[in-house]
């Protein structure tokens, strides 16, 4: 039963990331220097708070745990930010 509740909450979070959860997760990640540096960069800061793919990703607690523990996950996240940034600037 606990698995089902967790699965439903993850699905809900995937489609509807509450601002409060995003703020909490970004606050946790800002304690890591690599993320604080990204968040301080105005280009990536905008994406962290406004890009749908990025906010969905950061809204999941399981992804935050992965980012804190796994260097490959950090590299994937940086790649996502870079991809979304390039996509954003080419639209302008």
pLDDT in tens, 45-70: 999 999 999 999 999 999 999 999 99
pLDDT above 60 for 87:
yes
Q: Is residue 59 a contact partner of residue 25, using CB atoms and an 8 Å limit?
A: yes
Residue 32 is given by DSSP the state: S
Q: Identify the pLDDT of residue 41.
A: 94
Q: Identify the pLDDT of residue 3.
A: 77
pLDDT in tens, 8-54: 777 766 666 678 899 999 999 999 999 999 999 999 999 999 999 99
Q: Is residue 10 a contact partner of residue 52, using CB atoms and an 8 Å limit?
A: no
Q: Identify the pLDDT of residue 4.
A: 81
Number of Cβ within 10 Å of residue 48's Cβ equals: 21
């Amino acid at each position: 039963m606990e698995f089902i509740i967790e699965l439903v909450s993850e699905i809900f979070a995937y489609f509807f990331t509450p601002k409060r959860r995003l703020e909490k997760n970004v606050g946790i990640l800002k304690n890591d220097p690599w993320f604080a540096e990204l968040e301080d960069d105005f280009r990536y800061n905008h994406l962290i708070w406004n890009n749908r793919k990025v906010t969905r990703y950061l809204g999941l607690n399981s992804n935050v745990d992965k980012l804190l523990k796994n260097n490959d996950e950090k590299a994937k996240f940086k790649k996502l930010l870079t991809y979304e940034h390039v996509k954003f600037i080419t639209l302008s």
